[in-house]
C-alpha cells in the first residue's frame, strides 16, 4: 500500500471515533470496530506517517512470548498467539502472512546468579498458573539442549517453546489496516495539533492541515508520541521514547538448529532470524534514558562495544559474525510501571488510551485493540478484562510493575 493512497483531508466534519495513530494498536482498534455488527458509527484514523517508517511497529523485532511477570500480560500474549495462529483464516493469504504463523524457537532467559534464578522460578510459577509452558532448566539442561552455548557462567534458565518465537508483526499491521479500510474506516495522512475540551469531554481536534473535527470518542494510540498528544488535552502521561539497537548478522557456519530468543544476563538478546542468519539487539550502552522521538541516530558503537563481545562469548561459533543490516527503534516506554495504559481517562470520559507498551506493542495490540473497541461499543471489557491496565492506577499511584522488559 502506497502512502499516496492516504489523503490528508477528512471526508467529514464529525466522527463517532477518532483514533490518533495508525500503526498496530490504532489499526487493531479500527479493525475490531469495523467487524463488530453492534458498531454502526464512523471511524477516522489520523496517522502522521502512513509508511510507518519510524514507528515502533516497523522497527519491531517481531517477537511473541508468554514469559512475563504479571498475569494480565501472560493472558494478553496467549490471546495474541491465538490471533496470530489464525492469521491466515482472518485475512486472505498473502506473502505477508507467515507460514507457520509463529516460528516457535522459544524464549530462553539465562540466569547467572541464584538470586535471579529465584526470580525466574517465581515467574515460571505464575506463567504455569496461566497455562503457559515455561520450564526451568539447569545449566546442564541448557548445555545438553543447546550445546553451542558457553554455560560455565550460567546458573539456570527458563524456556518456553509453545507459542513463543517470531511472527510477522509488520505484515499483521498491514493487513489490519487494509481490512479496516475495506470495511469503511477512513485513514488520513495528517497530525493532531490541538484538542478542545468541553467540561469533562473532548469536543474536537485540530489537524495540522488546519481542519477542525468534532468527535464522539477520541483514542490516543500514538505510540512514542502519546505523551505529546495527551499534553494537548492537558494530561501528562509517563511515556517516553527510548532507543533500542538491532543488528542482523551472518556467520561462516550456521548453527545446526534454531537459536531461541536468548536473553543474556548482560541485557543483550539474540535469536535466529532467517534460515542462516541471526538477529541481536540491546538497550544503550549507558543509562537507558529518553531520546527525542525524531532521533534515530546510532549514538554509539553498540555492536563493537557491547554486542560483539557478548555474543562471541555466549556462542563461540559467532566469532565470524558479519553485520548485514541494522536499525534503531524506539520503545514507547512507560516509566511508571513498564505496562500498557488501556482504557478511559479518569476524568475525561470520552478520551481513551492504548499506549505505553514498553516494547511489547506488536504482540499486545490484538487483545488491547479488541478491548478498547469493546469499551467504545459496550462500555466495558468483554473478551479479556484489562481493567488493571487502566489510567486510574497512575492517578492512584498503584503501579502494576512488569519487570520482564528486554
Residues 42-81 pLDDT 10s: 999 999 999 998 888 778 888 999 999 999 999 999 999 9
Between CA 352 and CA 336 the distance in angstroms is 18
pLDDT of residue 91: 55
Q: Read off the pTM.
A: 0.95
Measure the CA–CA gap between 373 and 317, rounded to whole angstroms. 48
Which residues, at least 6 apart from 154, have a Cβ–Cβ distance to it below 8 Å? 110, 111, 112, 139, 142
CB 99 within 8 A of CB 86: no
Count the residues in the chain. Answer: 406
Other CB atoms within a 10 A radius of the CB of residue 44 amount to: 23
Per-residue pLDDT at 4: 65
- Residue 140 burial (CB count, 10 A): 10
- The owner of cell 508483526 is 169
Q: What is the mean pLDDT of residues 291-311?
A: 96
Give, for 352, the enclosing helix (H) or strand (E). Answer: strand 351-355
For residue 235, the number of C-alpha atoms closer than 13 Å in the C-beta half-sphere is 27
Q: Please write down the HEC assignment for all residues of 141-198.
A: HHHHHCCCCCCCCCCEEEEECCCCEECCHHHHHHHHHHHHHHCCCEEEECCEEEEEEE
DSSP secondary structure letter of residue 259 = P
Q: How far apart are CA 228 and CA 240, in angstroms?
A: 9
Q: Which residues contact 11 (CB under 8 A, 6 or more apart)?
A: 186
**Which residue segments constitute the domains of the chain, with CATH numbers given?**
3-58+169-238+337-395 (3.50.50.60), 104-165+242-330 (3.30.9.10)
Q: Judge whether residue 1 has pLDDT over 70.
A: no
Q: What is the pLDDT of residue 59?
A: 81
Q: Which helix (H) or strand (E) holds 272?
A: strand 269-272
Q: Is the pLDDT of residue 96 over 70?
A: no
Asked whether the beta carbons of 223 and 19 are under 8 A apart, the reply is no
Q: Distance between CA atoms of 156 and 212, rounded to whole angstroms?
A: 57
The pLDDT confidence band at residue 100, using thresholds 50, 70 and 90, is low
pLDDT of residue 53: 87
Over residues 4-14, mean pLDDT: 92
pLDDT tier at 230, thresholds 50, 70, 90: very high
pLDDT for residue 175: 87
Q: Which helix (H) or strand (E) holds 244?
A: strand 239-250
Q: What's the chain's average pLDDT?
A: 94
Pairing outcome for strands 351-355 and 135-138:
unpaired
* Percentage of the residues of the chain whose pLDDT score is greater than 90: 87
129-135: average pLDDT: 97
Cα distance between the two ends of the chain = 32
- pLDDT at position 99 over 90: no
Q: What is the pLDDT of residue 92?
A: 53
d(CA 360, CA 366): 11
Contact 49, 56 (CB under 8 A): no
261 close to 63: Cβ distance less than 8 angstroms: yes
Whether 346 has a pLDDT exceeding 80, the answer reads: yes
Taking residues 162-179, report their average pLDDT.
91
- pLDDT attached to residue 28: 97
Instruction: Check pLDDT > 50 for residue 98.
Output: no
Strand pairing class (107-111; 156-160): antiparallel
- Segment 200-223 shows an average pLDDT of 97
Q: What is the pLDDT of residue 236?
A: 95
Q: Tell which wins on pLDDT, 101 or 221.
A: 221
**Whether the predicted pLDDT of 95 surpasses 80:** no
User: What was the pLDDT predicted at 87?
Assistant: 67
pLDDT tens readout for residues 11-37? 999 999 999 999 999 999 999 999 999
Query: Residue 247: pLDDT above 70?
Result: yes
CB 222, CB 341: distance < 8 Å: no
List % helix, strand, coil for the chain (3-state, nearest 5): 30, 25, 45
Q: What is the signed CA dihedral for 184, 34, 23, 192, rounded to 10 degrees?
A: 70
Query: Mean of the pLDDT values across residues 130-159?
Result: 98
Using alpha carbons only, how large is the chain's radius of gyration in Å?
21
For residue 171, report the phi and psi dihedrals to the nearest 5 degrees.
Answer: -60, -35
In the predicted structure, residue 319 carries a pLDDT above the cut 50? yes
Q: Which of 5, 44, 10, 7 is nearest to 211 (CA)?
A: 10
**Furthest CA-CA distance within the chain:** 65
Amino acid at each position: 500500500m502506497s502512502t499516496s493512497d492516504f489523503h490528508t483531508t477528512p471526508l467529514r466534519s464529525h466522527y463517532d471515533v477518532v483514533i490518533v495513530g495508525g500503526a498496530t494498536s490504532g489499526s487493531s482498534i479500527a479493525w475490531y470496530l469495523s467487524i463488530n455488527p453492534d458498531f454502526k458509527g464512523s471511524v477516522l484514523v489520523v496517522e502522521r506517517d502512513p509508511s510507518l517508517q519510524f514507528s515502533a511497529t516497523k522497527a519491531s523485532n517481531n517477537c511473541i512470548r508468554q514469559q512475563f511477570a504479571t498475569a494480565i500480560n501472560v493472558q494478553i500474549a496467549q490471546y495474541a498467539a491465538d490471533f496470530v495462529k489464525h492469521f491466515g483464516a482472518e485475512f486472505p493469504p498473502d506473502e505477508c502472512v507467515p507460514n507457520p504463523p509463529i516460528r516457535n524457537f522459544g524464549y530462553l532467559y539465562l540466569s547467572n546468579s541464584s538470586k535471579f534464578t529465584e526470580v525466574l522460578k517465581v515467574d515460571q510459577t505464575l506463567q504455569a498458573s496461566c497455562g503457559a509452558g515455561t520450564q526451568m532448566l539447569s545449566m546442564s539442561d541448557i548445555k545438553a539442549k543447546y550445546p553451542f552455548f558457553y554455560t560455565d557462567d550460567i546458573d539456570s534458565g527458563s524456556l518456553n517453546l509453545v507459542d513463543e518465537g517470531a511472527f510477522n508483526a509488520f505484515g499483521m499491521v498491514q493487513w489490519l489496516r487494509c481490512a479496516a479500510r475495506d470495511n469503511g474506516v477512513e485513514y488520513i495522512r495528517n497530525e493532531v495539533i490541538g484538542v478542545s475540551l468541553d467540561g469533562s469531554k473532548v469536543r474536537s481536534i485540530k489537524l495540522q492541515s488546519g481542519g477542525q473535527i468534532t468527535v464522539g470518542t477520541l483514542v490516543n494510540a500514538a505510540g512514542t508520541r502519546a505523551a505529546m498528544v495527551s499534553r494537548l488535552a492537558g494530561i501528562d502521561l509517563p511515556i517516553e521514547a527510548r532507543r533500542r539497537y538491532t543488528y542482523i548478522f551472518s556467520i561462516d557456519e550456521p548453527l545446526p538448529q534454531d537459536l531461541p530468543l536468548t536473553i543474556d544476563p548482560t541485557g543483550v538478546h539474540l535469536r535466529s532470524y532467517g534460515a542462516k542468519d541471526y538477529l541481536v539487539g540491546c538497550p544503550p550502552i549507558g543509562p537507558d534514558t529518553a531520546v527525542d522521538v525524531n532521533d534515530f541516530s546510532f549514538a554509539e558503537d553498540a555492536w563493537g562495544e557491547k554486542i560483539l563481545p557478548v555474543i562471541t562469548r555466549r556462542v563461540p561459533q559467532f566469532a565470524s559474525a558479519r553485520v548485514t543490516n541494522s536499525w534503531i527503534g524506539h520503545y514507547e516506554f512507560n516509566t511508571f510501571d513498564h505496562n500498557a495504559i488501556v482504557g478511559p481517562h479518569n476524568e475525561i470520559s470520552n478520551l481513551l488510551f492504548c499506549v505505553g507498551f514498553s516494547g511489547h506493542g506488536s504482540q499486545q495490540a490484538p487483545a488491547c485493540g479488541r478491548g478498547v473497541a469493546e469499551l467504545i461499543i459496550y462500555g466495558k471489557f468483554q473478551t479479556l478484562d484489562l481493567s488493571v491496565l487502566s489510567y486510574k492506577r497512575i492517578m492512584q499511584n498503584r503501579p502494576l510493575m512488569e519487570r520482564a522488559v528486554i
